[in-house]
Amino acid sequence: MASKQNDILNELTPDSIANGEFPVRALLYNSVYYPASAFDGGIIRDCNVNRKDWNVLSFVYVDYQATERGLAATDMPRGYRLLGERHLKESDLVPNGWTPQLPPDLDLEHYKYVVNKHPFATWMVFERLPEFGDDHGPKRFSLLYLCADGVAAYQALYWTHGLHPRAIAIIQPGTGFGGNWTDFFMAKEPFHWTVSHNPAGMPEFVYCGYWSCFTATSPKDKPDHINFDWPGYSYWQPAAGYPQREVFVYKYSKNDLL
């Protein structure tokens, strides 16, 4: 599937991106899922440069506070140009529809109140500039950007298509005053329930941390300040894509559940 995903990306043209079949399942395979993402490019940099062995060519960014706008020059990943983009419909993402399964104890009225009522989805494909080599990153990569709730979107995308991402990024998810209605870090909250009840299984890695935090002036090797308690995940290493060791990678092991 990984080689197929690479072939699909390499065969794309601006016209086929805008008007051709949307390869949703191929793009979800071996992807990184980033809820409450804003437009943080650190995960893309980390995967492109420091974790090439993951062979991640597809990123799914989700943020229900996002606004629909064109890409600014400052948004462009360094060394890449926008090959093409497409505004998607719900039927592009879930062609056969989907039936939500609500996490237990969900306050549905509160949930409906806080979640944005104007969702959108944009698909962007980036191509490496000719003056940059393979050491900079892959020739092409895909970014699927959704204005949607991170809990519901995970279920709609990955459950429906029988897949799980290679990694999830939980970075400054806006809990409390940040506007997030739930805590992505905590195991007894709806996001973990949704991830852990995916019939396809669990992601192998989770990025956790902040854009800036207590370690900014005194970097540490271990995340003693992050309240991340998902069963089965153990601290692995700092995420090299964040210069002050503000983000850390946790790895999943079934043995940790025993």
Token reading at 52: 């090439």
User: Does residue 186 carry a pLDDT above 90?
Assistant: no
- Is residue 108 classed as helix, strand or coil in its secondary structure? helix
Cross-strand pairs, 56: none
Position 217 scores a pLDDT of 42
Lowest mean pLDDT among 15-24, 66-75, 100-109, 139-148: 66-75
128 phi, psi to nearest 5 deg: -65, 135
- Strand, coil or helix: 59: strand
E strand or H helix at 38, and its extent? none
- pLDDT tens digits for range 54-82: 999 999 999 877 767 665 655 778 899 99
Which is more confident, 4 or 107? 4
| Burial label, 168 (beta-carbon count in 10 A; 0-12, 13-18, 19+) | buried
pLDDT value at position 81?
Answer: 94
Q: Among 63-72, 120-129, 241-250, which is the least confidently predicted range?
A: 63-72
Segment 35-47, tens digit of pLDDT: 988 888 889 999 9
Is pLDDT of 207 > 90?
A: yes
Give pLDDT, residue 72. Answer: 60
Is a pLDDT exceeding 70 seen at residue 4?
Answer: yes
Number of domains in the chain: 1
Q: Given a cut of 80, is residue 5 above it in pLDDT?
A: yes
Q: Can you give the residue range of the structural domain that contains 198?
A: 2-257
CA separation, residue 88 to residues 19, 22, 49, 131 (Å): 10, 9, 29, 32
Q: What pLDDT shows up at residue 219?
A: 45
> Any idea what the CATH number is for the domain that residue 202 is in?
3.40.50
